[in-house]
Amino acid sequence: EDFKKIYDSLNLYDNVVSNDIIVVANKIPDFAFFGELNANLALRAGASGAIIDGVTRDTRETVDIGFPVFSKGNYCKDTRKRGIVTAKNRTVIIDGISIHKNDLIFGDKDGIVVIPKKYEREIIDTALEKMKNEKMILIDVAKGIKTSELTEKYGMF
C-alpha cells in the first residue's frame, strides 16, 4: 500500500513552470523512475529537461519528443512497487553536487553543469571569455599556425 505513494509524483507536474528542470534523487537508482509518460507530462507542463540520479527508461521515446533527460544509464524496469516519493521542492544532491531551486543548469551530450544563482554572472562571463579564446585558437589552427606559436600566444589549452 505504501508503494502507491510513487504516484504522488504525478501531482508534482501541476507545479512545474516554464523552463523548470525536473531533478530526481532516486534512492533506488538501479530502477528507472522517469520514462516516456513522465517526459510527456513534464514537457506539457513547460519543463525544459530532467536530471535523474539513477537510470531512466523509454530513451528513444523521450528523444523523439525532444525532451532531454540526463541520467546515469538506461534500464527497462521501473520503480513501481519499489519506491515512493518522500520529498518535493527540496535541494537535491547528486554525486556531491547540491542542486537548489533557481540554480542555472546547462546540459548537453557531455553532461550537465549546475551554476549556483549567486555565482551565475561571474561564471557566465568567465565561460564566455573562455569560449571566445577557444574560437580564436581554432581560427589560428585553421590558418596553420604551429603549435609552439599557439602555446606562446595563448598559453596551455
- Rounded to the nearest angstrom, the gap between the alpha carbon of residue 68 and the centroid of all alpha carbons in its chain is 8
Which of 84, 93, 96 has its CA nearest to residue 25? 93
Task: Report the 10 Å Cβ neighbour count for 87.
Answer: 8
Fold of 2-115: Glucose Oxidase; domain 1 (3.50.30)
5/47: higher pLDDT: 47
Whether the pTM exceeds 0.85: the reply is no
What does the pLDDT read at residue 125?
Answer: 98
47/13: higher pLDDT: 47
Summarised one tens digit per residue, pLDDT across range 67-118 is 999 999 998 888 777 766 666 788 999 999 999 999 999 999 999 999 999 9
Which of 5, 11, 23 has its CA nearest to residue 83? 5
Question: Domain map of the chain by residue range?
Answer: 2-115, 121-154
What does the pLDDT read at residue 6?
Answer: 64
What does the pLDDT read at residue 57?
Answer: 94
What does the pLDDT read at residue 52?
Answer: 94
